[in-house]
Chain A
Amino acid sequence: MQERRPLSDVQINKALLRNVLAAPLWFWGLVLLLALVVAAGAGAAGWMFNRGTGVLGVNRPAMWGFLIVNFVFWIGISHAGVMLSAILRLAYAEWRRPMVRAAEVLTVFSLMTAMLMPFIHSGRPWRLAYWAFPYDFARGIFPNIRSALIWDPSAVFTYLISSSLFILVTLLPDIAVIRDRTTGIRHKIYSAMALGWRGTPRQWRLQGIAGILLSAIILPIFVSVHSIVSWDFGMAVSVEGWHATIFAPYFVIGAVLSGVSAVVTLMALMRWLFKWEDHIREEHFDAMGRLLVVIATAWFYFFAMEFMFGLFTLEPQEVALRQLQVFEWPWSALFIIFILTAYFIPVPLWLFRSVRRNVAAMFWISIMVNIGMWLERFIIIVPGLLRKQPFTFVWGSYRPSPIEIIIVAATFCLVALGILLFSKVFPLVPLAEAKEGQILADQIKVGKKTIPAVMREE
């Protein structure tokens, strides 16, 4: 990139390992605060296990509420990691360097958090065993493998394993650097994790190949995960608005939009908290902003197609659902907030270079997008269930209970806590990438001007 300040390897190590080697006081204060909220969420979940799912707001006909919405939301956020890391790595995008690790870590923690949601929602998480074992050993009755609800954990866990492996492979050189700067038990642990990394040419070559291979392998998994999540809904013929052929790519592109926005949020926080202005620069926000314009517009296209085809047949039930989503209180207000915050406010703002290069503006806009994307899932899931039958005998609405609200709030703190603790153990900006970026930076003289340049060996 063009605005890179020349930094030595020592300066890079010092800045990026500051938190790993000696975390400041505020760090532990923040950890404590987040842990308290997570504990409150765990308490709320425990209360629900004890008292039963009656303490949740879900009831007939809407049996899926905040927790399932939150599940889809966090699965969506998890798409940031692969999108940025694998695709930009395969495309040799130079500006990917400072944010790939944070994106990958965000993937792992949001996946873990997402998977908590259906288990909590079930009210009986100990029955988790039935996902793998027969309901009834004597008669050998297994879970229905023809149900998308069974495919879901398979896809998500595959994604979780492959993403973790991906992080581990890219972490190896950095772990070795930390190993060489620690003593005692920490040194021993990092030595074990570094798998004998010495930075020989062969090791670098293998690490590079592994990174590229894993990128290519993870991409189909990444697409399959949210496709299958979409089929949790799309395979249901009986729920109006869900049985749409576009759901799989629509969910995937929506996930990418919310995930990449979440990475922007994370980038801003990393820049502010860890004072990494030399590494996470305005030009990186600029590049992310441009990428988000493309992703958001693609998402809007899929949204428009989904909505238009909902009205295409003009079937009374489908029209009633759209009317509920768009014109009836409180869904109408939520719909307006959703469409404004997910597209119509952020995209025009991102068109301005000054906005894209304003870290605070990008931070708040990225949060705004994710408010919109959370509401999008809410508006898809709950109104669909409220209108799922032509002769619904209960016309009640859905109102989240305090238990659900606390659990959902706690999930945000859980992901933040996970990333924060990770940053105490490993650097959130890859050292190797930062150093390689320095090596590949160059300058070219064209006429009287000296222009920043980048070296490409392939």
Chain B
Amino acid sequence: MHEPRDGRHAITETLPETPQEVTEKVLHNHLATGPLFRVAAVFCGVLLLLGVVGFILRVAGGFDDRTKWGYYGAIFFYILTTAQAAPIVSVAMRMAKNHWRRPLARAAELYAIVGVLNLLIFIPLLFVLPSAAGRRSLWLDGAARMNAGGSGWPPLAPHLWIALMLAGLVFLGLALLYTAALPDLATVRDHSTSKRHSMLRRLTLGWRGTPFQWRAHRAALGVLGGLYFMFYISTHSFIAIDYGVALVPGWKDSIFPAFQVLSSLQSALAITLVTMFFLRQTGGYKEFFYVDPFWALSKILLATTILWFYFWWASFFTFWYGRTQAEQNVLQLLMFGPYRPLFILAFLFSFLLPFLLLIWNAVRKSILGPTVAAALVLAGNFFDRLRVYVASFSVEDIRAHQLESVPAAHLPDGADILIILGALGGLVLFYLVGTRLVPVLSMWELKEYLTLRRIRPFLKTHVRVMAKPE
């Protein structure tokens, strides 16, 4: 089953043959908890506790010195643009009706659970963000009242509104996960007993898989997917402006919000690929994560990697060519000054190395190749978030007309390191807990695929024939 079938050399698919087999294999893995899982959960739990210690130390220092919160802000943005962005992979591929998405859809949307952790991490950042009054802000009234010292518009902007946007994104992610998992939760319900059964009976809202329920399910997924997509784009754009561009005088960079969205899309693909690799190697799902999903996802990863360079170049080139003092100082701050090592690392890991790997089809059409490229991208995004947000948070006079002097590099202290480790540990821990609550494979989508797919002889080979009911 794990190897391509004889005489079907063109087809690399290794999925189980029947829907029943899918249910049996997924449930077998879902209901059992192995020792490796426990070790990983305990390890991540310890890291999370260390992070809490680091957080307490950071809060004890107060919120006035924004520079000290730079690494905290960066790790928030890292999670926002990696784990919390992952559901978009599932949403987008479901909208595009790609069949290869079916094994990976749930693995991606399960990261919605990590959004809860990131929402908690975000709360202190509200106290770090200065009022919009008297400074440049996308919430226009703040800047307009520079001399009057008034507040932003709409009321309590930007704090209330970006918090609501982020909360909305988290809520929609969870709603999407729940809706998408509903048929699978019903399957688990029907195969479990006692406590789990009664809990799932309430959660599944009487799901029986009637035609009406399936129609409603499909419509709900469409609506939630559309809403999630809109919240995803707008939240990333606004929050990136408020915590990045708006804090650096003279940084008038209209492509930056789009760059942030693109970086998050690239990292969302990367974290999905890495997750698929771990589920394949250690989760017992080897036959579900065959080469096709890796191959398909790596093509999109390559496209986003090239776009990363394009967006960066469009920004850099306009500033570099413009030659105004304000633009040169921004380039110094973000790329060529105190944070140059971070910029070089970000450039290497987010663009150059994954690009050089992924341009080869042999690398893309493998399990390990896309995984390595994805791991590089995740590292690159980490360096890039540090570069942008530690630098932005380190600017003191945010009300100046342009950046007068480039602040020195702000290095992490012990609390910063604990916070970073804790946040990463928490990310993995939340995901691990999620895999115990919801099956990590979308059983109903896989079964639908098996229903719509046939393998037929064609000339001297065998081909896959896909039904198109819509």
Judge whether A153 is part of the interface by a CB distance below 8 angstroms.
no
Q: Which residue of A lies closest to B95 (CB)?
A: A294
Q: Is A453 an interface residue, CB under 8 A from the partner? A: yes
Q: Contact check, A314 vs B322: say whether CB atoms are below 8 A apart.
A: no
- B-facing residues in A207-241 (Cβ within 8 Å): 220, 223, 227, 231, 234-235, 237
Indicate if the CB atoms of B467 and A452 lie closer than 8 Å. yes
Provide the residues of chain A in CB contact with B94, threshold 8 Å.
Answer: none
Contact of B463 among A223, A305, A457 (CB under 8 A): A457
| A432 sits at the interface (CB 8 A) | no
Cross-chain contact A446 with B467 (CB below 8 angstroms): yes
Do B311 and A244 touch (CB < 8 A)?
Answer: no
Chain B residues with Cβ under 8 A from A2's Cβ? 468
Task: Across the interface, name the chain A residue whose C-beta is closest to B144.
Answer: A314
Stretch in B55-63, B65-73, B312-320 touching the partner: B312-320
Q: Which of B143, B311, B318, B465 contacts A243 (CB 8 A)?
A: B318
Assess whether A389 is interfacial by the CB under 8 Å rule: no
Residues of chain B from 214 to 257 with CB closer than 8 A to chain A in the complex: 233, 237, 245, 252-257
Contact residues, A294-331 vs B (CB, 8 A): 301-302, 305-306, 308-314
Residues of A within 8 A of B245 (CB): 312
Within A424-439, the residues touching B (CB, 8 Å) are: none
Are A237 and B323 in contact (CB-based, < 8 A)?
Answer: yes
The segment out of A43-51, A61-69, A97-105, A245-253 that lies at the interface is A245-253
- Chain A contact-residue range equals 35 or more
Which residues in B have their C-beta under 8 angstroms from that of A305?
237, 254-255, 257-258
Contacts of A247 in B (CB 8 A): 314, 318
**B137-154 to A contact mask, C-beta < 8 Å, 1/0:** 010100110000000000
Contact B315 A245 (CB under 8 A): yes
Chain A residue numbers with a CB within 8 Å of B306 are 220
Is there a chain A Cβ closer than 8 Å to B451's Cβ?
Answer: yes
**What residue in chain A is nearest B253 (Cβ atoms)?**
A245
Also in contact, A456 and B233, with CB within 8 A (given A243-B318, A306-B254): no
Residues of A with C-beta under 8 A to B140: 311, 314
B33 at the interface (CB under 8 A from A): no
Given contacts A249-B314, A451-B469, contact A446 B451 (CB under 8 A): yes
Tell me whether A444 is interfacial, beta carbon within 8 Å: yes
Question: Which of B255, B322, B323, B452 sits near A444, CB closer than 8 Å?
Answer: B452
- Residue B37 at the chain A interface, CB threshold 8 Å: no
Query: Could you tell me if A249 and B258 are in contact, using CB atoms closer than 8 angstroms?
Result: yes
Choice from A246, A314, A454, A455 contacting B258 with Cβ under 8 Å? A246
Q: How far is the CA of A199 from the CA of B199 in the complex (A)?
A: 64
Chain A nearest CB, measured from B238 CB (Å): 10
Which residues of A sit under 8 angstroms from B255, Cβ to Cβ? 244-246, 249, 305
Query: For the complex, is A458 an interface residue (Cβ under 8 Å from B)?
Result: yes
**How far is B245's CA from A302's CA once the two chains are assembled, in angstroms?**
17
Q: By the criterion CB–CB under 8 Å, are A453 and B138 in contact?
A: no
- Chain B residues lying within 8 Å of A249, measured Cβ to Cβ, are 255, 258, 310-311, 314
B253 surroundings in chain A (CB, below 8 A) = 245, 309
CB-nearest residue of chain B relative to A227? B314
How distant is B266 from chain A, measured CB to nearest CB, in Å? 15
Contact B323 A455 (CB under 8 A): no
B465 x A453 contact (CB < 8 A): yes
Residue from the list B138, B254, B463, B464 in contact with A245, Cβ < 8 A: B254
Docked CA distance A309–B238 (Å): 12
Interface residues of B in 454-468 (CB under 8 A from A): 454, 456, 458, 461, 463-468
Q: What's the Cα separation between A247 and B454 when bound, in Å?
A: 47
Please measure, in the bound complex, the distance between the C-alpha atom of A305 and the C-alpha atom of B322, giving whole angstroms: 20
Q: A237 near B468 (CB under 8 angstroms)?
A: no
Complex Cα spacing A456 to B465, Å: 6
A278 is an interface residue with CB less than 8 A from chain B: no
Verify if B212 is at the interface (C-beta below 8 Å from A). Answer: no
Determine if B324 and A237 form an interchain contact, defined as CB atoms under 8 angstroms apart. Answer: yes
Q: Beyond A305-B258, A457-B10, is A451–B318 a contact (Cβ under 8 Å)? A: no
CB pair B321 A312 closer than 8 Å: no
CB <8 Å contact, A453 and B258: no
The answer to whether A246 and B452 touch (CB under 8 A), given A305-B237, A442-B465, A456-B463, is no
Nearest neighbor of B143 in chain A, beta-carbon distance: A314
Of B254, B257, B306, B461, chain A has the most CB atoms within 10 Å of the CB of: B254
A243 contact set on B, CB distance < 8 A: 318, 322
Question: Which A residues lie within 8 Å of B469 (CB)?
Answer: 446, 451
Interface hub of B10, B258, B322, B458 (most chain A Cβ within 10 A)? B258
Residue from A246, A310, A452 within 8 A of B314 (CB atoms): A246
Cβ contacts under 8 Å, A451 to chain B: 452, 467-469
Please, which residue of chain B has its CB at the minimum distance from the CB of A314? B143
Residues of A within 8 A of B315 (CB): 245
Whether A245 pairs with B468 at a CB distance below 8 angstroms is no
* CA A310 to CA B318, docked complex, whole Å: 15
Q: List 16 A-B contacts (CB under 8 A).
A: A1-B468, A235-B321, A235-B322, A249-B258, A301-B258, A305-B237, A305-B257, A305-B258, A309-B253, A309-B254, A312-B252, A314-B143, A444-B465, A451-B469, A455-B463, A457-B463
Interface on A for B, CB 8 Å cutoff? 1-2, 220, 223, 227, 231, 234-235, 237, 243-249, 301-302, 305-306, 308-314, 442, 444, 446, 451-458
Contacts A245-B318, A248-B314 supplied; 18 other A-B pairs, CB < 8 Å: A1-B468, A231-B317, A231-B318, A235-B321, A237-B322, A237-B324, A243-B322, A244-B255, A246-B254, A305-B255, A305-B258, A306-B254, A310-B254, A312-B136, A313-B252, A451-B452, A452-B468, A457-B464
User: Which residues of B are in contact with A by a Cβ distance under 8 Å?
Assistant: 10, 136, 138, 140, 143-144, 233, 237, 245, 252-258, 306, 310-311, 314-315, 317-319, 321-324, 451-452, 454, 456, 458, 461, 463-469
